[in-house]
Structures are given as C-alpha cells and as structure tokens.
Amino acid sequence: MALDPDRLFPAETNTRQIARDLYETVCDLPIISPHGHTDPRWFAENQKFEDPAQLFVVPDHYVLRMLVSQGVSLEALGVAGQNDEWFETDGRKIWRLFAEHYHLFRATPSKMWIDHSFEFVFGLQDAFSPETADNFYDQISEALNTDAFRPRQLFDRFGISALSTTESALDSLQWHQQIQTSDWEGRVITAYRPDNVIDPEFENFAKNLEIFGEITGEDISSWEGYLAAHRRRRALFIEHGATSSDHGHPTARTENLSQAEAAQLYEKALMQTCSAEEADKFRGHMLTEMARMSLDDGLVMQIHPGSFRNHSGSIMRQFGRDKGFDIPTPTNFVRDLHPLLNAFGMRADLNIIIFTLDETTLARELAPLAGVYPALKLGPPWWFYDSPNGMMRFRELTTETAGFYNTVGFNDDTRAFCSIPSRHDMARRVDCAYLATLVRAGQLSQSEAYELAQDLSYNFAKKAYKL
C-alpha cells in the first residue's frame, strides 16, 4: 500500500485543497530537530546499522509496549534482561513476530511512522504483513549494507539542518567531540540533561555526584561547589554546540528557596537522607537554579514533567528503564510553576519550554500561563500525544489563548532515526490541516496561513532553540 498523498488532511474538499496547497510550500523545508534521543555515536563513527529488527523494533518503546500488551514477551522481542536469561538474538525471528502483530498498530502514529520509513527511506510500497515480512527484511538488510544508508548519509538525505541529542551531565561528550573534529558538516549538537545529578532519588545518585566532582574539579561537598560544577558542565556542553538544557522530573514542582535553605537541602541530598518530599523539593529548587544559570549562559530550558516511571516493578527489575512502562500523571502547573515564574517569569531574555503529558492542562493552565509570561513557551505535543489527534488537540486547546507565537514548532523527540522525516512530515501535515480549517472558517487569511505554515514548520524551532 503506497501512502495516501492526502493523508491527515481535512475530509472536506475545499479545506483539503487549502491544506494541500499550504503543505506544498513546507514539505521540503529543512528539518530542525531541536530535541531528541538519537545516539551521537552513530554520527561520530558512521557505522552501518545492524539489522532491521535492531533498527525498527528492539529500541522502540512504542513498538515494544504494544506487542507486550497483547502478551508478547520482551525476551522474544530481543530485549536483554538484567541477568542472564535467554532473549531472542535472531533478527529475522524478531522481525516475523513483529509482522504477525503489525495489525495491532492500525490507526496509531507508530504505524504511520514505520510505513513512511518503509516507503520513503527504503522504497518498500507493499503492505507490511506476515506474508511480506521476509521480503522486507531482506530488502532493508541489503540497503543497510550499502554506504548510502550509513547514519551521516541518511542525515544528509533527510535534509536535517540541525539535530540535538541529549546527554547526561556525566557524559564524556566524546562522540560529539569526534563529530566536531570530523570533516563531516552535519550539525549534530548536544543538550544538557542533569537529572542524574539533580534527582536525589536517581539510581546511584551519590556515586553520580562523586563523578560529577571529579570530572569538573569542583568540590561538590559544598552547595557552592555543586553549583559551580553545573556551571562548568554547562559551559562544556555549550562548547559542544548545546543551546538547551533538559529536565525530566516526576512532577512540575518548582521552588525558590533561600540559598541557605537550598544548601541545607543539598547536604541532605548528599547524605542521602532526603525524604520523598524533600527530594521533590530539591528537584524543584534546582529548576530555579538552572533558570538562573540560563540567564547567564543563554541555554534554553526544557522541562518534561509528569511521568510515573517504571510502573511495573517486575519489568523494571528484569529489564530496567525505558521499556514502555512510563505512564502520564495529572499535573498542576499553575501551582507548581509558581515559584519559578515568580522569580524569573517576567524575563523576556529567558526561554523556558514546557511540555506536558496531561492534556487537561493545555487550555486550563499552560496556554493561559504561556499567554502572559514572557519567559514561558509551549513545547509541542509530547510522547503519547505526538500523534495526529494529539497535535490537533494541542492547537485547538492552546491557540485561542496563547496564539501561535508562544509555541516553538515541532520536536521529534525520537530514538528511532529513520522516523525523523516521517514525524516532521506528520507535524507539518497536521499543522497545515489546522491552518486550512481556520482559513475555511474565515478565522485566518490565506496569506497569514502561508506565513504561519513556514513558522510552524521551521522558523519557530530555529528561533526558540537559538539554532
């Protein structure tokens, strides 16, 4: 099945034509991918990708979770456990299992991304099914064996003008170093993600802090030294192209403590004597410290709150993080962001980009907040909402209060490299569909719509992330 060229456009004929015309003007714009989780090593070493299963199935938590929900085991999908249990290592077997269950993905964004990759990256136009699985496996394997399908070549072919990965505060940045010093001109940059040295409840927090001190040469036994260590790392990340930091906390809580109180809390964190409440408070205060540093060093600040991580204890014990068992929770931004916004919300020279996993906050809290505080902008629909309906609801729920200009374009946020063009294509289609609907309803002129299509597809991300 070849993809429908009108996919995701409005049903009504006149509106569809407007959407089609708008899309024509943006479909070939360069891709800005300002936030994601691809592996910088790919671009540093430019090795060939392993096999179709390793590319499409094993690392994709969207794919894993859907198959698990219907009783397929993670082991059978090639996911290694923490101990020495068996897991499938035959790529073709994993691939066939995937094909047998591919109907589960009907009408999900995963299917649209994967079908798009099959067709546009690998030229495969048949419907993927148990019948075609082997043929797909062979053809993709063959392609991956050619130089044209190495990471840098795909990056160039995808038309990516800038791509940010995300590294922990303790990362050596060696792959980014290697990319920078190579003769390849692709722009791959890093982003500063310090959760593992900010969250007292992170695995190995004390050990992480120790390393944090060692690699920065700062005395992390004091609050001042700890802050200095952050400043040093941020500076190093900036040297490796970073324009943003990223913060993935369980809640959106922020705090603005006195330095004395913060220092006391840090001491508790260091001694690992924080209660759950104190750990949350410390994380909250550190967002305000990060904002303060951003005012100095210019890093754009991203906050990704509200996921109940590792909901299944048995899966966490056996397979670890990021296996599809993170579930969104209700979030209260009005209360939780209050300390941070009271401290720095009126600063027009600060860029805080907020994401949510709780759509009920879009119209009620986030659009009203971003629609008045100069420092706050709305990140695009994230994770479970990075989907046609999720994107449409995002626009419908935020535009009337925050407008378009307090949003920041699209992030693909992906670990799946081949899905990048399809994800941006989806976002551009849905935005054009939304703009077309407004034009058809007399709420926007044609010329405004054309200008906004460019903004939403390219300009806003470039500006918001300083790229």
Q: Between residues 47 and 69, which has the closer beta carbon with respect to a second copy?
A: 69
Per CB under 8 A, the list member of 225, 298, 320, 371 interacting with a second copy is: 371
Residues numbered 225 to 284 that lie near a second copy (CB under 8 A) are none
Residue 58's alpha-carbon distances to 92, 94, 278, 343, in angstroms, are 12, 9, 37, 43
Candidates 42-50, 197-205, 262-270, 360-368; binding stretch for a second copy (CB under 8 A): 360-368
Per CB under 8 A, the list member of 332, 450, 454, 463 interacting with a second copy is: 332
Q: How many residues bind a second copy (CB under 8 A)?
A: 91
Report the phi/psi class of residue 8: left, alpha or beta, with left for phi > 0 and alpha for psi in -120 to 50: left
Instruction: In angstroms, give the least distance from the CB of 235 to a second copy.
Output: 27
Q: Between residues 48 and 317, which has the closer beta carbon with respect to a second copy?
A: 317
Q: Between residues 47 and 389, which has the closer beta carbon with respect to a second copy?
A: 389
19 binds a second copy (CB under 8 A): no
Per CB under 8 A, the list member of 83, 84, 86, 106 interacting with a second copy is: 106
b/e burial code for range 8-20 (CB count within 10 A of at least 16 → b): bbbeeeebbebbb
Per CB under 8 A, the list member of 232, 268, 292, 364 interacting with a second copy is: 364
Residue 344's alpha-carbon distances to 198, 254, 291, 376, 406, in angstroms, are 20, 12, 8, 10, 17
Structure tokens at 322: 């990021």
Structure tokens at 293: 């540093």
466 binds a second copy (CB under 8 A): no
Under 8 Å between Cβ of 1 and 132: no
How far apart CA 393 and CA 388 sit, in angstroms, is 9
Per CB under 8 A, the list member of 89, 125, 221, 342 interacting with a second copy is: 342
Residues numbered 395 to 454 that lie near a second copy (CB under 8 A) are 396-397, 399-406, 437-438, 440-445, 448, 452
Candidates 99-107, 216-224, 264-272, 410-418; binding stretch for a second copy (CB under 8 A): 99-107
Instruction: In angstroms, give the least distance from the CB of 122 to a second copy.
Output: 20
How far apart CA 195 and CA 305 sit, in angstroms, is 12
Candidates 27-35, 46-54, 245-253, 370-378; binding stretch for a second copy (CB under 8 A): 370-378
170 binds a second copy (CB under 8 A): no
Residues numbered 292 to 311 that lie near a second copy (CB under 8 A) are 308, 311
Instruction: In angstroms, give the least distance from the CB of 332 to a second copy.
Output: 7
Residues numbered 374 to 403 that lie near a second copy (CB under 8 A) are 374, 376, 384-385, 387-390, 396-397, 399-403
Single-letter residue type at 331: T
Instruction: In angstroms, give the least distance from the CB of 226 to a second copy.
Output: 28
Under 8 Å between Cβ of 376 and 347: no
Per CB under 8 A, the list member of 22, 55, 63, 66 interacting with a second copy is: 66
Q: Between residues 142 and 308, which has the closer beta carbon with respect to a second copy?
A: 308
Instruction: In angstroms, give the least distance from the CB of 53 to a second copy.
Output: 20
Q: Between residues 241 and 388, which has the closer beta carbon with respect to a second copy?
A: 388
Instruction: In angstroms, give the least distance from the CB of 289 to a second copy.
Output: 19
- Cα dihedral 345, 190, 416, 467, rounded to 10, equals 60
User: How many CA within 13 A on the CB side of residue 21?
Assistant: 15
Q: Between residues 91 and 381, which has the closer beta carbon with respect to a second copy?
A: 381
103 binds a second copy (CB under 8 A): yes
Instruction: In angstroms, give the least distance from the CB of 88 to a second copy.
Output: 18
Residues numbered 117 to 156 that lie near a second copy (CB under 8 A) are 127
